[in-house]
Amino acid sequence: MSDQKTTGSKVWFITGASRGFGRVWAEAALKRGDKVAATARKVESIAVLNEQYGDNVLTLELDVTNSAQAKEAVEKAYAHFGKLDIVLNNAGYSLVATIEEASADEVKAMYDTNIFGTVAVIQAALPLLREQGYGHILGTSSNLGHVTLPVIGYYASSKWAFEAIHESLALEVKDFNIKVTIIEPGAYATEFGSQESLKFSAGMDIYTDFKNNFFQQLQTLERGNPDATPNGLFAAVDAENPPLRLSLGSHNLAWVRGEYAKRMAEWEDWEDVAIAAQG
């Protein structure tokens, strides 16, 4: 079985490369001399990469909700470059709605992109990574993969599912020399807050004040600089033993630590009830 090299030019396959972290990371990888198969729903949105980086980039149209197109894009990238070192699932969006407001169709549509689209790319890539004897699967989750907020609870739920899928995957593919890393950014000044990355359910008047207060609080969040993130990503992909979870941002760990402390305290408060329920 081949060993994945920690130095030298790597080949990336990146979904959602038209904007946000996907664009930042694609360009950063190209600037350091790696090769990138960059994908987006509208290939014209990434066409400029061809002009800037020439043969080092392959731009492909990909709507991750189309599993056949995902398989075709992964196989094209593999055939074009002869290998895939890194498969990075970055495509996704947030549904803005209280739990009561969102329709089932709206929630399903978000999961089709955030979860089933990710799974389609992973399932397309795994046979190729096994064949070459190595690989590294990365997925953009969020600090909201561990904690949650109101109004974007459905988005957070997709990231909780995302985390579980990748954690199971890491155990399943370890013997094939395939590594898995979940990227967990905090709040960053990316286009994720744009209309293309957010979808809004029809609102209910009873939640108007609550949501307005929530959005005002969001405005006070300190947002990181997305251009500061590539070195963290490169540290993970170049490591011999990369982390399963890579947190990006200075506020994440304190928030997660506090929330898990609350959970532990509550579980322990109710431990007698739990034990009695064993029977």
What is the pLDDT, as a whole number, of residue 108?
98
Cβ(118)–Cβ(88) below 8 Å: no
What is the distance between the alpha carbons of residues 110 and 209, in angstroms, rounded to a whole number?
Answer: 25
Asked if residue 6 belongs to a domain, the reply is no
2 located within any domain? no
pLDDT score for 3: 40
Q: How far does Cα 22 stand from its chain's mean position?
A: 9
Q: Is residue 46 part of a domain?
A: yes
| One domain, residues 224 and 263 | no
If asked whether residues 167 and 259 sit together in one domain, one would say no
Query: What is the C-alpha to C-alpha distance for residues 246 and 40, in angstroms, rounded to an integer?
Result: 24
Domain that holds residue 165: 11-248
Question: Does one domain contain both 228 and 274?
Answer: no
What's the mean per-residue pLDDT of the chain?
93
**Residue 34 lies inside a defined structural domain of this protein:** yes
How many CB atoms lie under 10 A from the CB of residue 111? 17
Whole-number pLDDT of residue 223: 84
Provide CB contacts within 8 A for 39, sequence distance 6+: 13, 14, 15, 16, 17, 46, 59, 60, 61, 62, 73
Same domain, yes or no: 58 and 108: yes
Q: How far is the C-alpha of 149 from the C-alpha of 151, rounded, in Å?
A: 7
pLDDT at 120 over 80: yes
> Do 237 and 156 share a domain, yes or no?
yes
Query: Is pLDDT of 8 > 80?
Result: no
Distance CA 250, CA 272 (A): 37
Domain assignment present for residue 5? The answer is no
Q: What is the CA radius of gyration of the chain?
A: 20
Q: DSSP code of 113?
A: I
Which residue, among 227, 223, 228, has the nearest Cα to 251 in the 3D structure? 223
Residue 134 annotated as catalytic: no
Among 94, 141, 142, 158, the active-site one is 141
Exactly one of 155, 157, 158, 188 is catalytic; name it: 155
pLDDT, position 224: 87
Domain count, the chain: 2
Q: What is the C-alpha to C-alpha distance for residues 122 and 139, in angstroms, rounded to an integer?
A: 10
Together in a domain, 99 and 183:
yes
Per-residue model confidence (pLDDT) at position 66 = 98
At 2 the pLDDT is: 38
Whether 271 and 217 share a structural domain:
no
Percent of the chain with pLDDT over 70: 94
163 within domain boundaries: yes
Q: Is residue 111 part of a domain?
A: yes
Could you read off the pLDDT of 62-108 as tens digits, one per residue?
999 999 999 999 999 999 999 999 999 999 999 999 999 999 999 99
Whether residue 139 is predicted with pLDDT greater than 70 in this model: the reply is yes
Catalytic residue among 78, 94, 157, 159: 159
What confidence tens digit (pLDDT) does each residue in 177-225 have?
999 999 999 888 765 444 456 889 999 999 999 999 998 888 787 888 9
Cα–Cα distances (Å) from 110 to 21, 105, 148, 155, 251, in that order, read 19, 9, 17, 8, 27
Average the pLDDT over each of 122-131, 181-190, 249-258 and give the range with the smallest value: 181-190
Q: Is there a contact between 90 and 14 (Cβ–Cβ < 8 Å)?
A: yes
Assigned token pair, 259:
């929330």
The reply to whether 97 and 169 lie within a common domain is yes
pLDDT at 196 (0 to 100): 54
Residue 236 counted as domain residue: yes
Is there a catalytic annotation at residue 141?
A: yes
CATH number for the domain spanning 64: value is 3.40.50.720
Q: Are residues 152 and 85 in the same domain?
A: yes
User: Of 3-17, 41-55, 71-85, which gets the smallest average pLDDT?
Assistant: 3-17
Tell me what the mean pLDDT of segment 3-25 comes to.
Answer: 83
Model pTM score: 0.92
Q: Is 35 a catalytic residue?
A: no
Confidence of residue 243 (pLDDT cuts 50, 70, 90): very high
Clarify whether residues 191 and 272 are in a common domain: no
Q: Give all strands (DSSP E) within the chain, no chain letters.
A: 11-14, 35-40, 57-61, 86-89, 94-96, 135-140, 178-185, 198-200, 245-248
Task: Answer yes or no: do 182 and 272 share one domain.
Answer: no
Q: Quickly count: other Cβ atoms within 10 Å of residue 23's Cβ.
A: 22
Q: Do residue 190 and residue 278 come from a single domain?
A: no
Name the one residue in this structure whose structure tokens are 């960053």.
Answer: 188
